[in-house]
Amino acid sequence: MSRVFSGIQPTSNLTLGNYLGAIKNWVGLKEGHESSLYCVVDLHALTVPQDPEKLRKQTRETAAAYFACGIDYTNSIVFHQSAVAGHSELSWLLGCLTPLGWLNRMTQFKDKAGKKKDQASLGLYGYPTLMAADILLYKATHVPVGDDQKQHVELARDIAGAFNARYEKEFFPLPEPQILGDATRVMSLRDGTNKMSKSDPSDYSRINLTDEDDVIALKIKKAKTDPESLPSELSGFEGRPEAKNLMTIYAALEGKELSQICTEFGGKPFSEFKPVLSDRIIESLSPVREKMKEFMKDQVELDNILKTGAEKAADIAMKNMHDVRDIMGLLQV
């Protein structure tokens, strides 16, 4: 049995990074798998402070983005994490067999907690066990993610192995990270060495899926570059992260190799490339933005779709949780 699971935190507006590194690659992935589940991971969002009203809105908006990008809720299960109680329960149970040493290695916690480690929440520290629970609750085998989440999927794999070893049963399949697409780590438009992130304080660091065309064009115009012309071969990206990022985005949207883009644009100035790039981004994202607006107009319908998805997800989760409790020796009367 093979099953796909992935999710995105509704922490803010989704970005071009979420689009190229995640959602775009989910479309059509169901082929060749028994089922696929796409979750809006709202419990993960709570690992950093959230405004309750905004969180609800962003949860709907994230689901709207999934549908607008082409996820078909009639043949995939789309739902929000907090609607299926098994996520939190399994997170606790798995947390009881996850060594602290494994969590201490997670780079996302180090990046997000920074120097204020002692003030970071237990939730932020335990984020990877909740993510392992998300995946294992459905016995998912394939987890499509951007490059930054690979380490967490590998941890989920180790936790699944630890459970199987502790209870001497091949119960959980070992999930595989799938790093798909041609832009697995889209970088900030302000600093090509940092990941493009929803929570970066500068809105100019990212393209949001909700940005209007003129905003996209302005952000690309202001994107950091260097004084040289574009490289005509891959070796020319050495020490030029911003050039590499902008050309990688263009290559991914065009569905071409980065080397082809170097051949097309090598030797040209950024001032010539940037308008072509912003037109290409607008061509891809403006239909997504308009469809998101349509989905957001009918909240009752959107909520109904999520409710139906949560019921289907809970059916799978309930059976697996029953087996997990049984294996772990919890009394079920």
Work out how close the CB of 172 gets to ligand AQP at its nearest, in angstroms, rounded to a whole number: 21
Work out how close the CB of 193 gets to ligand AQP at its nearest, in angstroms, rounded to a whole number: 12
59 binds ligand AQP (CB under 6 A): no
Q: Considering CB under 6 A, how many residues would be counted as binding ligand AQP?
A: 20
Q: Which of residues 133-172 bind ligand AQP (CB under 6 A)?
A: 145-146, 148-149
Tokens of 325: 């409790």
The residue within the footprint of ligand AQP, chosen from 21, 126, 192, 231 (CB under 6 A), is 21
Nearer to ligand AQP, 50 or 229 (CB): 50
Pick from 73, 63, 83: nearest CA to 30: 73
Query: Roughly how many angstroms between the first and final C-alpha of the chain, as a whole number?
Result: 30
244 binds ligand AQP (CB under 6 A): no
197 binds ligand AQP (CB under 6 A): yes
62 binds ligand AQP (CB under 6 A): no
- Please, where are the H alpha helices in the chain? 16-18, 24-26, 42-45, 52-68, 86-95, 100-104, 107-113, 122-136, 150-166, 213-222, 241-254, 258-265, 270-297, 299-328
195 binds ligand AQP (CB under 6 A): yes
Residues tagged active-site: 112, 195, 198
210 binds ligand AQP (CB under 6 A): no
Nearer to ligand AQP, 33 or 185 (CB): 185
71 binds ligand AQP (CB under 6 A): no
Work out how close the CB of 323 gets to ligand AQP at its nearest, in angstroms, rounded to a whole number: 28
Which of helix, strand or coil describes residue 99?
coil
Pick from 75, 19, 66, 17: nearest CA to 41: 66
Pick from 110, 179, 106, 97: nearest CA to 136: 97
Q: Are 43 and 76 in contact (CB under 8 A)?
A: no
d(CA 116, CA 79) in angstroms, rounded, equals: 33
The residue within the footprint of ligand AQP, chosen from 3, 4, 17, 29 (CB under 6 A), is 17
Contacts of residue 185, Cβ cutoff 8 Å, sequence gap at least 6: 17, 21, 146, 147, 148, 195
186 binds ligand AQP (CB under 6 A): yes
219 binds ligand AQP (CB under 6 A): no
d(CA 94, CA 155) in angstroms, rounded, equals: 11
Binding site for ligand AQP (CB under 6 A): 8-9, 11, 15, 17-18, 21-22, 145-146, 148-149, 184-186, 195-199
